[in-house]
Structure 1
């Protein structure tokens, strides 16, 4: 039996096209798997194994949320091979840079905000050793 993994996360956004553009800038291998419309527009974007389920908001006046202070998703993280290439793509496309964490000897992290102000984390691991990758003491 294989280990469990996250198959998808569902995120509500203001505009599907802007969200797809953000994700494909960060993760060029992500493809739109399917999209449609029921009571709202939706889109699945990712790989054959996992994806982000996007849906457009349905409220005329969105409710403002304070990340890390109220209940809800704060960020979603993706593992990438080259954090610096990702940063060049994202900043070149005009996405707002958040925190950069390069203090750990075995991983680099960077955060970017999409058009909706949602925070997305990207992690590059510098070791294949899971004990080093998952170390919280360094």
Structure 2
């Protein structure tokens, strides 16, 4: 499983830059960043080189954030790959809280990153032959 930082940020001009500045000053590289907005606040999800150090830097800068465990499945870059993963998860009655696609820098392949509250999902996916990543 990967550690992902989830944080709340005010929905205003320059908000993302403030976050990236905190991480740049702490010498933390961002592997994946997903920003979702709402009327006043957005949820930013980050996978970074040093999640514990990033969490502390962001909290010290006044951000409300936490570490979440997420699963990352290395995928082939072919039509239907994500559909196959989701089909297996549906058959196993696994509920997905959210999902986004990232990129594996080592293999140059897409990665499905998702959050679920069901602890047996990782074991199930490995049993199905999926490659789960500890870094991307």
Q: TM-score normalized by structure 1?
A: 0.27
- Which protein has the bigger helix share? 2
Indicate the structure whose relative CO is greater, using CA pairs within 8 Å and at least 6 residues apart.
2
Q: TM-score normalized by structure 2?
A: 0.27
